[in-house]
Structure 1
Amino acid sequence: MRRVDVSLVGFGVVGKGLARLLLTRREWLQEQRGLDIRLVSVASARAGCIYAEDGLDIAGLLALAEQRRPLTELAHTQYFSSTLAGIEAFKSDILVEATGTNLRDGEPGLSHIRAALSRGQHVVTANKGPVALAGIELLQLARQNGVQLRMESTVMAGTPVLSTALEGMAGAQISAARGIVNGTTNYILSAMAEGRDYAEVLADAQARGYAEADPTADVEGYDAVAKAMILSTLLFQQPLGAEQVARTGITGVTREQVQHASEAGKRIKLIASVRRMSGGEVEARVEPVELPLIDPLAHVVGAMNALTLESETLSSVTVIGPGAGSIETGQGLLADILAIAGV
């Protein structure tokens, strides 16, 4: 039985999703993969960092979180006042960075990832900010220190789109990627296709938890812009600034436009696209597009996500699946952990 020690930074919706999977899949991972994954530390901005060399009681952690009690109440743990202090005090095999996304400067996740990679620690992240803003730098830092940086969950949660592009399509030269990478906007546009108004559907999406109280990042396309930046970095090794991605959100899309598209045999979707041009530069866009019904993306409805990859050997490969959710995003993190473990 091989042991892998994991440190988790961020114990919100995503972090708890991974913790639940590590708890519920523990026996299966041991029996089928010969792997004993132990969560040895958890850190958050509010609680600091707790550590146990032999592994934390995950069930106890989740119970404390459910009761909104401090994680420091967990027995038999060491305490560090800050996340960075905990990262520097001990070294686990893999750091999982699951703090909230900050698209302004990538912090605090960027500092967490830099610190871990610099000391020879593998990193798995669900945090879009650091990868969108400094992906090339972080990947170079990982190579310099002989470790891996994996980020499946940053684009389509647990749906394996990055591993499909980088590993499943190894040897294929990808020339373009385009897709629906924001579930909130796809839910809204899908409902509008049924004849409902934007304002009504947005309120419904907020009530269902698909949209935040302030939905700007989703409906104005900023979340999709960050994912386009990540795709450009990973597929083409070309970093982009947010200002280099042409952006139009869905707030200007009317019910009449959606109905007119439907009458013409088309559906409006918010599409993020990156394409390598003949001169080597990358064109990136986020915008509502009328798609013909022969396009597989036209049939992706509700909060689902999808990405179509184009290459010279496989002309078109489309991956469809959930793009958000606690367990769904946790699955992406777990898949990356297993990839690093080599099982």
Structure 2
Amino acid sequence: MLTKVKGGVKLNIAFIGFGGVGQALAQILLEKNHHLNEKYGLNTKIVAVSDVMKGSVYDPEGLNIEDLLSSVKEKGSVEEYPDSSTVQKGLNSIQTIEDTNADMIVEVTFTDVETGQPAIDHCETAFQKGKSVVTTNKGPAAVKLNSLLKLAEENGAFFGFEGTVMSGTPALRLPETTLAGNDIREVVGILNGTTNYILTEMEKGLSFEDSLKQAQSLGYAEADPTNDVEGYDVRYKAAILANYVLGEEVSAKEIHCEGIRSVSQDMVQDALDEGKRWKLLARIKKEDGKVEATVQPEKIEMTNPLAGVTGATNAILYDCDLAGPIMLTGAGAGLKETGFSLLIDIIHAHLESKKQTSGVR
């Protein structure tokens, strides 16, 4: 339950998972605490962290963020955080959710995107306790979105997953708020920066293999790039967009998915000669009340606004009945950007809570 304090509302936060994204959000909360309080009447306090590799620490009075980040950076463990009479260590993730005074759970664990675990268990446990959740894990939103939203609503909790599609670029918040009132008939997006970077480099004459190696050297691609180059990452994002933006329950496994391995250097150069470009696109279309989604390379005209999106940038195009085509572009990855996506949801949850408290609908 949120607690009113002088100047606003206190929000106690627990992190489940504390890798790069979690630490980036903690740094943002440290830097933005005064701004959040002044502008939104929100006073955030980190009370707990539980990470399968870095251990756990809990202080109901609040953890010092600088000490917390320092213990991870210097010792690799949150359990190196200074002891005190109120500090408790050794809680697992479920205990941290159930037995601490956290109001908001930041779920940023390493999760199997196909099963959504362990993130789904963490979300369900939190909602059953009436605690809100924000996450950047695609698994829960792609695998079990509707039931999780229902469980959250039944227990008066908030479920935020803005960062699951385009990191800190608000691909879900925009259609829900700014484009409210439009019938969005189709969503088309470049939703994977790694593959877009590779295709851009291939236009410069590099082979697929050399472009991939360059992407890996820059940190855009993992050592095992399968999820990116085979389109699997985009397929889960397409499922989230179909479910949330177009309101149709679509399983990721049902979405036709083809990656970019089949796009050769000759194909890329031939397209350029034709005044076109190859892009890996997620396409989610609503027609006659049904929604169909595909993920595959497409050769698009240079006049298409998505053709101008190069490098590791992401973009998404909404086809609206009233506003017409609206395109949003921005970073689809990055620790600070992904941490910011969690902040978007935290602020939105706070504003929703304020509306309910004041009786505004």
Q: Sort the TM-score into its range (normalised by shorter chain).
A: over 0.9
TM-score for both structures, normalised by structure 1: 0.96
Q: Distance in 2 between matches of 1:270 and 1:45?
A: 35
Q: What are structure 2's unaligned runs of at least 5 residues?
A: 1-6, 355-361
Secondary structure of residue in 2 paired with 1:284: strand
Which whole-Å deviations, capped at 9, do the CAs of 1:94-133 have from their partners, x for residues lacking one? 1111112412211111100011111111111100011100
Stretch deviating more after TM superposition (149-158 or 99-108): 99-108
Q: Distance in 2 between matches of 1:111 and 1:175?
A: 33
Give the structure, 1 or 2, with the largest relative contact order (CA under 8 Å, sep 6 or more). Answer: 1
Secondary structure of residue in 1 paired with 2:259: coil
Q: Distance in 2 between matches of 1:213 and 1:47?
A: 23
Stretch deviating more after TM superposition (157-166 or 81-90): 81-90
2:359 is matched with none
Q: Distance in 2 between matches of 1:38 and 1:154?
A: 24
Which whole-Å deviations, capped at 9, do the CAs of 1:41-70 have from their partners, x for residues lacking one? 111112343211122111112122222432
Q: Distance in 1 between matches of 2:110 and 2:182?
A: 33
Matched, 1:36 2:43: yes
Matched, 1:282 2:288: no
2:80 is matched with 73
2:345 is matched with 336
2:57 is matched with 50
Cα deviation, residue 34, structure 1: 2.8
Which whole-Å deviations, capped at 9, do the CAs of 1:173-231 have from their partners, x for residues lacking one? 21111100111001101111111111001001111110000000000000000000111
TM-score for both structures, normalised by structure 2: 0.92
Contact 1:95 1:123 in 2 (8 A): yes
Secondary structure of residue in 2 paired with 1:50: strand
2:226 is matched with 216
Cα deviation, residue 138, structure 1: 0.4
Which whole-Å deviations, capped at 9, do the CAs of 1:233-253 have from their partners, x for residues lacking one? 101332222321111100111
Superposition map of 1:7-22 within 5 A = 7-22=14-29
Contact 2:54 2:76 in 1 (8 A): no
Matched, 1:176 2:186: yes
% same residue: 39
Cα deviation, residue 317, structure 1: 0.8
Residue type of the partner of 1:335? I
Contact 2:185 2:320 in 1 (8 A): yes
Q: What are structure 1's unaligned runs of at least 5 residues?
A: none
Query: Quick one: which of 135, 156, 159 aligns to 1:125?
Result: 135
Q: Distance in 2 between matches of 1:67 and 1:226?
A: 36
1:147 is matched with 157
Query: Quick one: which of 83, 96, 110 aligns to 1:100?
Result: 110
Query: Quick one: which of 157, 160, 171 aligns to 2:170?
Result: 160
Secondary structure of residue in 1 paired with 2:324: coil
Stretch deviating more after TM superposition (139-148 or 213-222): 139-148
Query: Quick one: which of 191, 205, 208 aligns to 1:195?
Result: 205
Cα deviation, residue 33, structure 1: 2.9
Cα deviation, residue 172, structure 1: 1.2
Contact 1:272 1:284 in 2 (8 A): yes
Cα deviation, residue 292, structure 1: 0.9
Contact 2:164 2:237 in 1 (8 A): yes
Cα deviation, residue 148, structure 1: 1.5
Aligned residues: 342
Secondary structure of residue in 2 paired with 1:25: helix
1:25 is matched with 32
